[in-house]
Amino acid sequence: MRVTVFGSKQYERALLEDAARAAGHVLSHQSQHLNADTAALAARSRAVSAFVNDSLNAETLEILAKCGVKMVALRCAGFNQVDAAAAERLGIIVARVPAYSPHAVAEHTLTLALALSRKLCRAYNRIREGNFSLEGMLGTGLYGKTVGIVGTGRIGAVAASLFKGLGCKVVGYDVVPSPECLRLGMTYLALPDLLRTADIISLHCPLTPETKHLLGRREIALMKPGAMLLNTSRGGVLDAGAVIDGLKSGRIGNLGLDVYEEEADMFFEDLSGQVIQDDVFARLLTFPNVIITGHQGFFTEEALADIVRTTMANISEFEGTGKCANAIPIARKAAA
Ligand code: NAI
């Protein structure tokens, strides 16, 4: 099948090409994001492949449908960028990669926690300048601390087990408790109680209408003074303006972000020669107790190989049967 791959990056092209050749698919790579302005580039393809920050709203999907596109193969787990109802109406199947190494994102979460608690980025910069002073470098141990996991699905459960391995106590909040986390000894709490209890709060729930700004001003005010906040899920789960106020007041003692609500125009691009136009993001960068990574939690060799393999399998399944077991749910416009 001919497939137009949007947002195609050098780091994935060789892998995608090898997998496509083996499966008998022909790829057309487009470096642009998929949106209403670029969708027409899919002409002559029956399928397109899209990524996290592509915009699959009704307008984009209508153009894809006019081009004859019948399938969207997402190279990611989340699908908050898709208008699922519009896709259903237009007869376009949208498939995703539901699970590709939850360990990659969970390990990245732990990396952020350790780097923040031991001031690793400051140490790296200091030593390179020949400054070996320990002033301002006093760390905080993780052993014995309480970690609150918000969203105890695949990634949240792995994160919980990693923190547990460090000797942390784990508490959780989820609409559906996980048997795996219960086996780990996790105590489930209402969100306000988790926020009051946890020394470290780590977000692992999908972005849905219910979780948009799940942590805003009111919730941040409930946090323990100086608590660490980690978000490797989706930027929109946090209200960034409220987070800045929380950092200024000291309520948030450390912040680790791999995602940002308005990341779509920045992340995955080299903008090092440009002025950042997003003032909220620019303000976040000024805090000494904040580490931001550019949505790289998933980005390991192992996870990338899984993503490519599942994406091609999804396309082949659709070509062979007209269906796909990894199609996103059509009943709700949800996000995972
Ligand atoms: P999952 O579907 O296995 O787990 C999500 C959990 O969140 C489920 O247990 C679900 O019950 C819970 N949840 C749903 N609505 C909730 C609510 N209103 N309040 C509390 N909990 C709620 O998903 P998985 O694989 O663990 O991924 C979690 C999220 O991580 C994804 O949705 C995605 O946004 C993000 N992600 C980030 C990546 C990165 O590179 N930073 C890569 C992959 C995923």
pLDDT in tens, 130-153: 999 999 999 999 999 999 999 999
Is the predicted pLDDT of residue 123 greater than 50, yes or no? yes
Domain that holds residue 271: 102-292
Q: Are residues 180 and 238 in the same domain?
A: yes
> Which of 81, 103, 173, 205 to mutate for ligand 1's pocket (most ligand atoms within 8 Å of CB)?
205
77 lines ligand 1 (CB under 6 A): yes
Residue 333 in this model has a pLDDT that exceeds 80: no
**Which amino acid, 68?**
G
The whole-chain average pLDDT of the chain stands at 96
Sign of the CA dihedral running 271, 207, 315, 40: negative
Q: Catalytic residue numbers?
A: 234, 263
Same domain, 92 and 72: yes
Whether 261 and 116 map to the same domain: the answer is: yes
The reported pTM is 0.92
The answer to whether 103 and 79 are in contact (CB under 8 A) is no
Residue 336 Cβ inside 6 Å of ligand 1? The answer reads yes
262 and 331 assigned to the same domain: no
Structural domain count, the chain: 2
Query: Does ligand 1 lie within 6 Å of residue 232's CB atom?
Result: yes
**Position 335 pLDDT exceeds 70:** no
Condensed to tens digits (0 to 9), the pLDDT of residues 224-269 reads: 999 999 999 999 999 999 999 999 999 999 999 999 999 998 999 9
Question: Judging by DSSP bridges, how do beta strands 93-95 and 146-150 pair with one another?
Answer: unpaired
Residues 118 and 234 in one domain: yes
| 168 close to ligand 1 (CB < 6 Angstrom) | no
Return the number of other C-beta atoms located less than 10 Å from residue 289's C-beta: 16
Nearest CA to ligand 1 atom 4: 153
Q: Are residues 185 and 155 in the same domain?
A: yes
Report the atom number in ligand 1 closest to the C-alpha of 211.
18
**According to the model, what pLDDT value does residue 332 have?**
46
pLDDT at position 120: 98
Instruction: For residues 158-178, give the mean pLDDT.
Output: 98
Find the 224 Cα to ligand 1 centroid distance in Å: 24
**Which domain CATH number covers 58?**
3.40.50.720
